[in-house]
Amino acid sequence: MRIIIGLGNPTKKYQATRHNIGWDAITRISDDYRIPLDFKKHKAICGSGYIEGEKVILAQPITYMNLSGESVRELVDYYKVSPEDIIVIYDDISLDVGQLRIRKKGSAGGHNGIKSIINHLGTMDFPRIKIGVGDKPIDWDLADYVLSRFHDEEEEQIREALKDASNACKMMITSGIEEAMNVYNRKK
């Protein structure tokens, strides 16, 4: 069993913002594999289904980004999976818009959602997919930037990145993280 978690913030105010790309990825996976997000549990909007025969739980934590670890801890405990059996999808400002970077483990890198998950799980050893949202312009505040929406000219790159994230999850489940890293960690 795998749990795929997309980080973001609840409420319409944050929909389609750079910081909510993880939530958007879960919506895309839900659509691609016909897994309805139809129940709230563990401080998250969840769905249960299968990807290539593997049981998966999709989750969009509703704790707000900085408290994502609360939801992830509940999910891991309830479903009795190890941190290596989760996949966390989130935004990364150090990557170009639409670029993916898959990692087996790592530090928070300044991302408060990941920092919260590391604190609650007590480990940095969990797979993740980072989706590039681009670096903030020099004169912007970081919080304002990640809570901004994508520009029209970035929309196609984001659609492609969400498709890639969905396919990368399938590959991580069926072929392993190494193969997914080989395919998706190349710069476009």
Q: How far apart are CA 109 and CA 74, in angstroms?
A: 23
pLDDT tens-digit map of 146-157: 899 999 999 999
Domains of the chain: 2-184 (3.40.50.1470)
CA–centroid distance for 42 within its chain: 17
* Residues with a known catalytic role: 19
Checking if the pLDDT of 122 tops 70, the result is yes
Q: How far apart are CA 100 and CA 11, in angstroms?
A: 26
Q: Which residue has the higher pLDDT, 11 or 117?
A: 117
pLDDT tens-digit map of 54-104: 999 999 999 999 999 999 999 999 999 999 999 999 999 999 999 999 999
Say what the pLDDT of residue 45 is. 97
Mean pLDDT of the chain: 95
Q: 186 pLDDT band (50/70/90 cuts)?
A: confident
Checking if the pLDDT of 136 tops 90, the result is no
**Cα atoms in the 13 Å half-sphere on the side-chain side of 182:** 6
Say what the pLDDT of residue 188 is. 60
CA distances from 176 to 7, 43, 77, 96, 182 (A): 22, 28, 23, 25, 10
- What's this model's pTM, rounded to 2 decimal places? 0.96
Q: Which residue has the tokens 């989750």?
A: 59
